[in-house]
Structure 1
Amino acid sequence: MSEEIVIVTGGSRGIGASVCRKLAANGRKVLVNFAQNAGAADKLVGEIRAAGGSAVAIQGDVGKEADVLNLFSEADRLGTLTGLVNNAGVVDLSRRVDEMSLERLTRMFSINVFGSFLCAREAVRRMSTRHGGKGGTIVNLGSAASKLGSPNQYVDYAAAKGAIDTMTVGLALEVAQEGIRVNAVRPGIIDTEIHASGGAPDRVAELQSRLPMKRAGSAEEVADAIVWLMSDLSSYTTGAILDVSGGRAILP
């Protein structure tokens, strides 16, 4: 029998890495996708294997169609795809819209939106019963920013995540009769490296006193929600967007 495979894009760090660890601990074979940091991906794969799990690291930029096609070809070689976590994403330095370049916008939407669509397309082609697949699950990573708008910071990022919200609902309805469930998790302020990559390494410390729970969330807390949506425990859940934001509704 072909081994079942789950792809986690952007899986070498932060929320993605926590998802990989938890899925592997639950007996899933994980394909850890990474864009650049091979060292982090290889270290994670080593940790998973040392704990008795199964994982493989595959490089690829989800914003490039050729890389996405190669990623899914590698999955085909390793087993049967039954799950996708569309986790890969980027932010940028805080800017107003009237300060944003086309280069920035292109990068933001290529990775955060186009990459998720391309990966979902390839996953559906393999998992849908319409295409001869055995079904599966897709979980997209949204953000509370899609509701908040992120003014004076990342309106482009918020808009990209708004597209993910809409994609989740539409795709879920499109493949509901084809054995595929599609859901999303919408994190709030989570203590990961993504803030530093956006030029705000102290963002969590600066905001946590103004958050409803007076603390940021952890990658593990978000991963637990994703793993639940990937499991049979959520077998009647599709088209859902689950907020994991500690009650954060508006920017103070």
Structure 2
Amino acid sequence: MSRPVTVVTGGSRGIGAAACLRLAADGHDVAVGYVRDEAAAEAVAAGVREAGGRAVTVRADTSAEADVDRLFDVAESTLGPVTGLVNNAAVTGPLGRLADSDTTDLRRVLDVNLLGALLCARRAAQLMTARGNGVIVNVSSGAATLGSPGEYVHYAATKAGIDALTVGLSKELGPDGVRVNAVAPGLVDTEMHAAMGAPDRVRQMAPAIPLRRAGRAEEIAAAIAWLMSPDASYTTGAVLRVAGGR
């Protein structure tokens, strides 16, 4: 049998990078989507190859339709028919109250987290429904149900949109043989906290988690890999919370 071919957006760091490596270990070939850090993306691709998979890196801003089309086109021309999508690319913008937020930051968060996910899901759906099979895993967040007051209400709102996308699209694509699920991570120890201006956030928040620690990117990747695997063949429309009990 041919190996699954999976597109991972935001694949150069954090959860996306861990997902690329875990999927490669599980037998996938991987298209590593990234927006800025080419060196990091190439390092992830090297890890995929070390695990026995084929890999290609593609610079793509998921909020741009042309970039999304190119991401999938390169994946298909280099690796073969795309069978999976990990819809992971996301940004938070600076931490703070909604009343103090900048409109430019709000637009960017909406464009990447929601429009970008919709564009990627749409392109995957076009390819997968024509072939009668495929798997999409969207990366949501525990923020979708907690609301994240005082931190990033706008980010939480986009992730609630991801949950709705997951449920609706799973019903739309189920008859075509395509499964759609989501993983909703809680506090995870990645570079994202420093990027949003709170490098100490993990240490400060961990005591409020029932398991008393932040998650690891590899733990989220394991949930993604399960949802993409044949073991989850009867699972669709699910939002799997991986948040240490919070």
Q: Normalised by the shorter chain, which TM-score bucket?
A: over 0.9
Partner secondary structure for residue 6 of structure 2: strand
Task: Name the structure 2 match of 1:191.
Answer: 189
Do residues 123 (structure 1) and 132 (structure 2) align? Answer: no
Unaligned runs of 5+ in 2: none
Task: Name the structure 1 match of 2:44.
Answer: 44
Equivalent positions of 1:1-252 (< 5 A) are 4-78=4-78, 79-128=80-129, 131=130, 133-248=131-246
The residue identity in structure 1 corresponding to 2:115 is F
Q: 1:98, 1:217 → 2: CA distance?
A: 30
CA offsets 1:52-96 (integer angstroms, 9 cap, x no match): 222111110101111111111112212101000000001111121
CA offsets 1:179-228 (integer angstroms, 9 cap, x no match): 10000000000001111111111100111112111101100110000000
Q: Mean Cα displacement is larger for which, 65-74 or 45-54? A: 45-54
How big is the shift at 1:171?
0.3
- Check whether the contact 1:38–1:59 (CA below 8 A) recurs between aligned residues: yes
How big is the shift at 1:50?
2.6
Q: Mean Cα displacement is larger for which, 203-212 or 183-192? A: 203-212
Provide closer, same or farther for how the CA distance between residues 2 and 230 of structure 1 changes in structure 2, counting only shifts above 3 A: closer
Partner secondary structure for residue 81 of structure 1: coil
How big is the shift at 1:99?
1.3
Percent sequence identity is 50
Q: TM-score, normalised by structure 1?
A: 0.94
Moved over 6 A (4+): none
How big is the shift at 1:134?
3.5
The residue identity in structure 2 corresponding to 1:48 is V
Q: 1:118, 1:191 → 2: CA distance?
A: 28
Q: 2:226, 2:48 → 1: CA distance?
A: 19
How big is the shift at 1:29?
0.5
The residue identity in structure 1 corresponding to 2:189 is D
Instruction: Report how many aligned residue pairs link the two structures.
Output: 245
Q: 1:50, 1:167 → 2: CA distance?
A: 34
Partner secondary structure for residue 183 of structure 1: strand
Partner secondary structure for residue 164 of structure 2: helix
Partner secondary structure for residue 83 of structure 2: strand
- Check whether the contact 1:15–1:223 (CA below 8 A) recurs between aligned residues: yes
The residue identity in structure 1 corresponding to 2:143 is A
Instruction: Let me know the Cα RMSD of the aligned residues.
Output: 1.2
Partner secondary structure for residue 222 of structure 2: helix
Q: TM-score, normalised by structure 2?
A: 0.97
Q: 1:228, 1:185 → 2: CA distance?
A: 10
Q: 2:195, 2:167 → 1: CA distance?
A: 29
- Check whether the contact 1:3–1:80 (CA below 8 A) recurs between aligned residues: no
How big is the shift at 1:123?
0.3
